[in-house]
A and B are shown apart, each in its own frame.
Chain A
Amino acid sequence: MSTAASYLSAVSEADARARAHGGTPNSTPALSLSSSLTGSSEDTVLDDTGADVVDALLYPRVPPTSEQVFTTVHTEFGHCANEKYRFTSQHRAGTPYKSNPEQDPPYYIVLTTYLSYLMVICLGHLRDFIGKRMRPSRYKHLMAQNGYAALNSDFDSFYTRRLKTRIDDCFSHPVTGVPGRTIVLLDRYSPDYNVTMIPTGTRTRALNISSYNYLGFAQGKGACADAVEESVIRYGVCAGGTRLEGGTLDLHLQAEALVARFIGMEDALISSMGFATNSTIIPALVTKGCLVVSDEYNHASIRYGVRLSGASVRMFKHNDMQSLETLLREVISQGQPKTHRPWKKILLIVEGLYSMEGTLVNLPVVMELKKKYKFYLFIDEAHSIGALGPHGRGVADYFGINPRSIDILMGTFTKSFGAAGGYIAGNKALVDRLRLRGHSGTYAEAMAPPVLTQVIASMSSIMGVTIPVEKSSSPALPLLRASSVDTHVSEFEPECAYPGTAPVSALPVWMPLAPTLVDGSDGQMRLRRLAFNTRYLNRGLRKLGFITYGHDDSPVVPLLLFGPGKMAVFSRMMRTRATPIVIVVVAYPATPLVLSRVRFCLSAAHTKEDVDMVLTACDEIGDFLDLKHGAGERWPLQEIIDRAVELVNMPEAP
C-alpha cells in the first residue's frame, strides 16, 4: 500500500513543517502582524502602523476635550459625546404600524435589470457551450467521470459559476481584528476573474457598516472583554459535552436565568448556535398534525426546523396581515388536508426584524389575530433583541406589549450581544420540555464559558445591576438552588419587574463590575445611539432620493439597487473610497430576482460623522449609478447633515 506510506511521510512532513514554524501554527504572519494594530490597546486611539492608515477612521473629527474621557477604542466603538445624537427606539402608542411603502422603480430600470440577467445567463450558457468543447478539463468536476456522478452538476451550479462568480469579490472577504465600528480587510486580488483569490498581504481598515454589531459589543476592550478574560482564566474555553451528559456548568444556569429575566419570560434555555436553536428546537414544538404558519421571508434556520418537525407548513405574504388572516380562516375552517380533522395546534412563526427587508413584524395586529384565532406565537428575535425598544428588549418592548402574552421568544446572541448561540424563552413547563425534547440538550455541545460570560456581561450592561445594601448570605453560589431544577428562575426576588435590572446575585461573583455597567448608563447610551443612527441613516437615504425598504427604526437598512451589475460596482466603489466603507450586497436567491440590494447594518459604535460619511458616499455613488428613484421630498446632502437631529426627531418623515 504505497499510498499509506506516502501518506505517513506526508503527515510527518506536515508535523515537521509546523514545528519549524516555532511551535504555534497559528502564530501566523496574520496574527503577529495584527498585533501591531491593536498592540497599544491602552491608548484610546490605536497606532495603526501596520495597515493603510486612514485618519478619518482612527481619530474623531473633533478631538475630545479635556473633561471627556472615553474608555473605548475609537476604531472599535466611536467616540460620541454629543447628547443630541441620541434617540429612543419606541413605537408611538395608538398609531398603527407602518413600514415605508415599497416603491417601484421606473420601468426602464426593471427592464434593464431583466435584460442584464438575460445577458449574463445567455453569456454564461455560451461560455459553457464553448468551454466544454475547448477546455474540457475545466469542466471535468462537473461531469460524471469514471463511474461517479458529478458532485455538483454543471446545471445545478450554473448560477454560482456564471453569475455569482462575477461578483465574488464582494462576498466572503477575509477580515481580521474586532468587527466593530471599523474592520480590517485582508486585501486580496484575483488573477482569473474571481475563480481564485490571492491575498496580497496588505490590509485596509474600513468603516464597517455590515457586521451585526447593533449595540457595539464587538469590542476587544471594555467591561465585557474584561469579564470574558476572567472567565477564560477560571473556566478555560470548553464546557465539555452536551447539556444533559456532563456539560452543564453553573454559568449555564446563571446565563439562562438572566436571559429569562432580560426577556421578561418565566424561563429560558440557551443553545450553542443560533441556527441550531431554530433547527433543533422547532421539531420539539410541533409534530405531524400541527400546522406552522410561516412568513414567506422567514430565515433558513426556521424552514430547516419546520421541515424536520414533520408539521404542515403554509406561508403568507411577507408581513401582510390581510393575507395572514385570510390564510388563518382558511386553514382553521378546512382543517387538515384530506381528513379535515382539526389541527392539533397552529404555530405562527415570524421574525421580529427581517434582516433582508428591514421590516418589523406588525405585532399589535398579530396579537389581535392571536386572540381571535388561538394560534401559538413564535417570534424569532435574532435581529431585534437588543436592537429595538426603549430597553433593548426587542419587538415586544418596542410596541409596548407584555412579552408573556407571547408564547415563545427566540433570539440569538450573535448580533446585539457580540457573542454566539441562541435562546428560547417561554413559560417554565414549555422550556423544560424543550430542554428535554429539543435535539440540542441531548446531542449538541453546550455553550462555551467565554461565550456565556459575554452574554451575561453584555446583557447586564444593558439592564444595569442592582446591588442590595446588605450582602447576600451565600454569595458564592447564588444560583445553585437551581440544582433542584424546579425552582431556578422563580426564586428571584418577587419584584422582578420587567424590564428591570439584573440583581447582582444573578451574576457570577468573580465578574468585574464596571461602574457604567452597574448603573446601566453604558447600555442606555448604546441603545440610544443606535436608535439615533438608525433613524438618521434611514431618513437621510430617503431624503437623498434612494428607494429603501423597511421601517425607520430598523437598524437594518436595505437600499435597493435592482441591477445585478450595480451591486458589484457599488460594493467596489465603497471599498475603494479614500475612506473605505465595507457593505453587504445581497441578490437572488436571498431576495427576489430583480430586487438586489445593499444592506447596511447600523451600530451604536458608529458616530454621527460615520453616518454622514456613509450618506456622502451613497450620494456620490447613487448619482453615478442612477439609483435615486425614490418619491417624496428631497434634501441636498449638506442640509441632511446639518439638520440631522431635526430629521431624526420628526414624528413622521415628511
Chain B
Amino acid sequence: MSGTTSTLEPLFTFVTSSYAALETNFFKIPGSAVVARYVKSSHQNDPGRTLLEVILIIFAVRTLLQSRTRADHSGKHFIQFDEKEIDDLVDEWTPEPLAQPLTQQEKADLACAPIIVGPNGPKPKLSTGKTVTNLASYNFTGLSGNTIIKERAIETLRKYGLGSCGPPGFYGTQDVHIQLERDIADFLGTEAAILYSQAFSTISSAIPAFCKRGDVIVADRGVNFAIQKGLQISRCTVRWYDHNDLESLEQVLESVEKERRKKKAPLTRRFIVTEGIFDHDGAMSDLPKLVELKEKYKYRLILDESVSFGSVGRTGRGLTELYNVPASQVDMLVGSVANGLSSCGGFCAGSHVVVNHQRINGTSFVFSASMPATLSVAASEGINILRNTPSILSTLQDNVRAVRAVLDRVECISIPSHSASPIIHINIRWPSPATLQLPSATSSPTKPSNPLSVLPRDPPQFDVELEERLLQDVVDEALAQGVMITRARRLRGQELVDVRPSVRLAISAALTRKECEKAANTVKAAFVKVLGKRR
C-alpha cells in the first residue's frame, strides 16, 4: 500500500505543480476571477449542477471538434495505397451507365398512359381525338370541374397569387391553410389536422415523425407503397400480419407482447399501421374490430384513408363515418386531399399533440413549401359541398353497386375489392384449380405466417408478365369501345410484396347510373373478349 503511494509521489507533485501553474495562468486572463467565483459558489449550492455543466461543456467542445465529414481510415478493411496506385485505380474504374435506355416493353408501358386534352372529368377528350367515359381517374365525388370551386379558386388566386413561396415555418402558413386544416378536423371530428402538400408524401413523413428506432409497428402485409417507404425511413421494428386478417393481427400483437415480457424490454411506442380501403386491392378494414384490438393491446392506430376519405360514409367522411366510429379513436388518420377533395395534398388528423408534433418533425411538412392557396380553398369548398349534399355519396354508392352488379357475375375475373369500395380491382381468374385460390387469407392457414417477414406463408403464385399483358389488352379493348380504364400501376421489384396484376376502376358520382352500367358492360365485354380467346 505504502509502496504504491511512494511510486505515485512524483506524479502527485507533478499534478499539483501543473495545477498551480494552470491556476496562476488562469487568473491572468481578464474576467477569470468572476468565472472562478461563479463556479465555486454554484458548486457550493449544487454540486450536481457543476457536474452537469462540465458535461455540457465537454459535449459542446466535442460537437465543435467533431467533423461530420471525417474520413473513415480506422476500419480494419482500409487498404493503404500510394498516390500513383490511386491514380491508376481511378483510371481503371468504369462506372455503369446512369440509366439503361428503356426496353421495348418498358416503352410500351410508358406510352400506354392515356393523355387527356383539356379538362379531366367524367367524359374527357383524349389525344386521339376520342371522347371517352372515364373509369380511370380519381374523381369520386365529381368535384373536379365544379363551377363553384372554380369561382372560389379564381377569387383566391387574385388575392393570394399562386404559390405560397415558403415552407410553413417561414411565412408559408396562410390563413387559408389554417382554415382548411380546421375544416378537415371539423369535418372528421378530430381535434386538429395538418396539411402536407402532396398526398404521397404525407404518410411517408407522418410515420417516421412518430416511430423511431426501437419502436414497434405492426403492419398489414398489403399496405401501400407510401406506407412501405415510411416504414423504411423510420427504421423501427416492423411485424407483419396477414392482409386484412384481424385474427392474424391479434396473434401478432399477442406474440409481440409476449416477446416484450420475456425480454423485460422497456415500454416503447407501438403502432398498428393499416389502410381504410387498400390501394392495392380495394379491400376494406373492419374498423371497429381494429379499434377494439388496438385498445386492448394499447397500440396507437395509424389509418391511411387515402382512398376511403371523400368516398365512403354518408357524406364522405370515410371509414369512421361508415362504421360510426369516432375519428378521435383513430390516433393518426391520414387522408388524401388530392383524391378525396379533387385538389392536391394530404392531411393527417388527430389530437393536438399528434398534429403539433408533426409541425416540427414531419420532414416533408417542415422542408417543403405549403400548398398553393388556390388549391387549399378549392379543398375547403369541396368539404363544404360534401357536407351540404349527401346525395353525392349516395349517387356514388349507387354507381358502385351498378358496376358491381355487372362485373360480379363475370366468370373469368375475380374482384378482391369490398362491395362498397369506389375503387374496384379486377384480377384475372384462371380456370385451373391450382391458381383458383385468391390471395385473400380467409382460409385460415393451419400455421401462421412469420411476422418477421413481409412475405406471407404461401404467397399466391401468378405470372406477372402474362397477366399484365392480358390486362393491357383489356384496357386497350375497353378504350377502343370508349371506356378509359387503367391497369393498377406498380413498381414491380420495389414493392415489398409482389401484388397481383389488376385493372383498377375508379367510380365517380359525376356519371349517371346508366353510364356506369354501360361502361361496366363494356369492360365486361373487353374481359370476355380478351380472356375468352385464350380458352
A235 to chain B, nearest CB (A): 5
Of B133-141, B239-247, B391-399, B450-458, the segment with at least 4 beta carbons within 8 Å of chain A is B133-141
A10 to B321 Cα, complex, angstroms: 12
A241 to B116 Cα, complex, angstroms: 12
* CB-defined contacts of B468 to chain A, threshold 8 Å: none
**Beyond A329-B90, A448-B344, A485-B107, is A30–B175 a contact (Cβ under 8 Å)?**
yes
A146 to B114 Cα, complex, angstroms: 53
Structural contact, A14 and B171, CB atoms closer than 8 A? no
* A437 interfacial by beta-carbon distance below 8 Å: yes
* CB-defined contacts of B204 to chain A, threshold 8 Å: 279
Structural contact, B157 and A31, CB atoms closer than 8 A? no
* B7 interfacial by beta-carbon distance below 8 Å: no
Interface size class of A (residues with CB under 8 A): 35 or more
Structural contact, A24 and B381, CB atoms closer than 8 A? yes
Structural contact, A439 and B225, CB atoms closer than 8 A? yes
Q: What are 25 residue pairs bridging A and B, where the CB atoms are less than 8 Å apart in the complex?
A: A4-B325, A7-B324, A31-B175, A34-B159, A122-B49, A146-B298, A150-B269, A173-B171, A180-B161, A208-B171, A211-B166, A234-B118, A235-B120, A236-B150, A237-B342, A245-B113, A246-B484, A248-B114, A249-B116, A250-B116, A299-B367, A420-B369, A432-B101, A436-B110, A448-B372
A631 to chain B, nearest CB (A): 22
Which partner residue on chain A sits nearest B337 by CB separation? A445
Structural contact, B198 and A272, CB atoms closer than 8 A? yes
Structural contact, B506 and A241, CB atoms closer than 8 A? yes
* B11 interfacial by beta-carbon distance below 8 Å: no
**Beyond A26-B384, A440-B200, A486-B107, is A174–B166 a contact (Cβ under 8 Å)?**
no
Of A394-402, A411-419, A642-650, the segment with at least 4 beta carbons within 8 Å of chain B is A411-419
* A570 interfacial by beta-carbon distance below 8 Å: no
Structural contact, A301 and B368, CB atoms closer than 8 A? yes
Structural contact, A246 and B383, CB atoms closer than 8 A? no
A144 to B268 Cα, complex, angstroms: 9
* CB-defined contacts of B118 to chain A, threshold 8 Å: 234-235, 249-250
Centre residue among B67, B224, B344 by max chain A CB count within 10 A: B344
Which partner residue on chain B sits nearest A11 by CB separation? B189
**Beyond A218-B161, A273-B198, A330-B71, is A300–B363 a contact (Cβ under 8 Å)?**
yes
The 8 A CB mask of B356-378 against A (1 = contact, 0 = none) is: 01011001101111011011011
Structural contact, B77 and A338, CB atoms closer than 8 A? yes
B342 to chain A, nearest CB (A): 4
Structural contact, A250 and B201, CB atoms closer than 8 A? no
| Set B99, B157, B339: member contacting A232, Cβ < 8 A | B157
**Beyond A273-B368, A448-B375, A450-B372, is A240–B342 a contact (Cβ under 8 Å)?**
yes
* CB-defined contacts of B368 to chain A, threshold 8 Å: 273-276, 301, 414
Structural contact, A220 and B100, CB atoms closer than 8 A? no
B454 to chain A, nearest CB (A): 16
Q: Identify which of residues 289-346 in chain B touch chain A, using a CB-to-CB cut-off of 8 Å.
A: 298, 300, 315, 317, 321, 324-329, 336, 338-339, 342-344
* CB-defined contacts of A343 to chain B, threshold 8 Å: 93, 95
What are the 6 closest A-B residue pairs judged by CB atoms, nearest first?
A246-B136, A240-B137, A444-B200, A273-B198, A7-B326, A275-B368
Given contacts A26-B380, A229-B157, A334-B77, 9 further A-B contacts (CB under 8 A): A186-B175, A228-B157, A237-B342, A245-B504, A246-B484, A415-B165, A420-B369, A444-B201, A483-B127
Which partner residue on chain B sits nearest A451 by CB separation? B372
Q: Identify which of residues 151-172 in chain B touch chain A, using a CB-to-CB cut-off of 8 Å.
A: 152-154, 156-166, 168-172
* CB-defined contacts of B81 to chain A, threshold 8 Å: 333
Which partner residue on chain B sits nearest A213 by CB separation? B165
A246 to B504 Cα, complex, angstroms: 11
Of A87-95, A369-377, A511-519, the segment with at least 4 beta carbons within 8 Å of chain B is A369-377
Of A15-23, A61-69, A492-500, the segment with at least 4 beta carbons within 8 Å of chain B is A15-23
Which partner residue on chain B sits nearest A286 by CB separation? B98
Of B12-20, B433-441, B488-496, the segment with at least 4 beta carbons within 8 Å of chain A is B488-496
* CB-defined contacts of B68 to chain A, threshold 8 Å: 296, 315
A484 to B128 Cα, complex, angstroms: 11
* B1 interfacial by beta-carbon distance below 8 Å: no
A210 to B78 Cα, complex, angstroms: 47
A326 to chain B, nearest CB (A): 7
Centre residue among B110, B328, B363 by max chain A CB count within 10 A: B110
Structural contact, A442 and B60, CB atoms closer than 8 A? no
B20 to chain A, nearest CB (A): 25
Structural contact, B53 and A148, CB atoms closer than 8 A? no
B260 to chain A, nearest CB (A): 11
* CB-defined contacts of B64 to chain A, threshold 8 Å: 593-594
**Beyond A172-B359, A208-B171, A439-B200, is A483–B128 a contact (Cβ under 8 Å)?**
yes
**Beyond A299-B367, A450-B157, is A443–B226 a contact (Cβ under 8 Å)?**
yes
Q: Identify which of residues 73-91 in chain B touch chain A, using a CB-to-CB cut-off of 8 Å.
A: 75, 77-79, 81, 85-86, 89-90
* CB-defined contacts of B120 to chain A, threshold 8 Å: 235-236, 238-241, 246-247, 249
| Set A18, A224, A332, A448: member contacting B89, Cβ < 8 A | A332
**Beyond A151-B357, A430-B98, A440-B200, is A35–B159 a contact (Cβ under 8 Å)?**
yes
* A253 interfacial by beta-carbon distance below 8 Å: yes
The 8 A CB mask of A164-177 against B (1 = contact, 0 = none) is: 10000001111111
A219 to B114 Cα, complex, angstroms: 34
A471 to B430 Cα, complex, angstroms: 55
Structural contact, A173 and B173, CB atoms closer than 8 A? yes
Structural contact, A219 and B161, CB atoms closer than 8 A? yes
Structural contact, A247 and B199, CB atoms closer than 8 A? no
* B519 interfacial by beta-carbon distance below 8 Å: no
A330 to B327 Cα, complex, angstroms: 54
* B39 interfacial by beta-carbon distance below 8 Å: no
B392 to chain A, nearest CB (A): 14
Structural contact, B169 and A245, CB atoms closer than 8 A? no
* CB-defined contacts of A150 to chain B, threshold 8 Å: 269
* B57 interfacial by beta-carbon distance below 8 Å: yes
Q: Identify which of residues 480-533 in chain B touch chain A, using a CB-to-CB cut-off of 8 Å.
A: 484, 486, 488-491, 494, 504, 506
A37 to chain B, nearest CB (A): 8
* CB-defined contacts of A323 to chain B, threshold 8 Å: 69
Structural contact, A300 and B367, CB atoms closer than 8 A? yes
**Beyond A18-B384, A243-B113, A433-B100, is A445–B339 a contact (Cβ under 8 Å)?**
yes
Which partner residue on chain B sits nearest A242 by CB separation? B489
A265 to chain B, nearest CB (A): 13
Q: Identify which of residues 163-213 in chain B touch chain A, using a CB-to-CB cut-off of 8 Å.
A: 163-166, 168-176, 178-180, 183, 186-187, 189, 197-201, 204, 210
Structural contact, A437 and B491, CB atoms closer than 8 A? yes
A450 to B152 Cα, complex, angstroms: 13
A317 to B110 Cα, complex, angstroms: 40
Structural contact, A148 and B159, CB atoms closer than 8 A? no
* B144 interfacial by beta-carbon distance below 8 Å: yes
* A280 interfacial by beta-carbon distance below 8 Å: yes
Structural contact, A236 and B357, CB atoms closer than 8 A? no
**Beyond A327-B71, A329-B90, A445-B338, is A149–B267 a contact (Cβ under 8 Å)?**
yes
The 8 A CB mask of A247-269 against B (1 = contact, 0 = none) is: 11110010000000000000000
* CB-defined contacts of A149 to chain B, threshold 8 Å: 215, 267-270
* B145 interfacial by beta-carbon distance below 8 Å: yes
Q: Identify which of residues 85-130 in chain B touch chain A, using a CB-to-CB cut-off of 8 Å.
A: 85-86, 89-90, 93-96, 98-102, 106-107, 109-111, 113-121, 127-128
* CB-defined contacts of A56 to chain B, threshold 8 Å: none
Structural contact, B176 and A26, CB atoms closer than 8 A? yes
B362 to chain A, nearest CB (A): 11
* CB-defined contacts of A221 to chain B, threshold 8 Å: 158
A38 to B155 Cα, complex, angstroms: 11
Structural contact, A445 and B200, CB atoms closer than 8 A? yes
B452 to chain A, nearest CB (A): 20
A326 to B90 Cα, complex, angstroms: 12
* A85 interfacial by beta-carbon distance below 8 Å: no
A35 to B175 Cα, complex, angstroms: 13
Q: Identify which of residues 269-318 in chain A touch chain B, using a CB-to-CB cut-off of 8 Å.
A: 272-276, 279-280, 283, 285, 296, 299-301, 304, 307-308, 315-317
| Set A6, A28, A175, A419: member contacting B162, Cβ < 8 A | A419
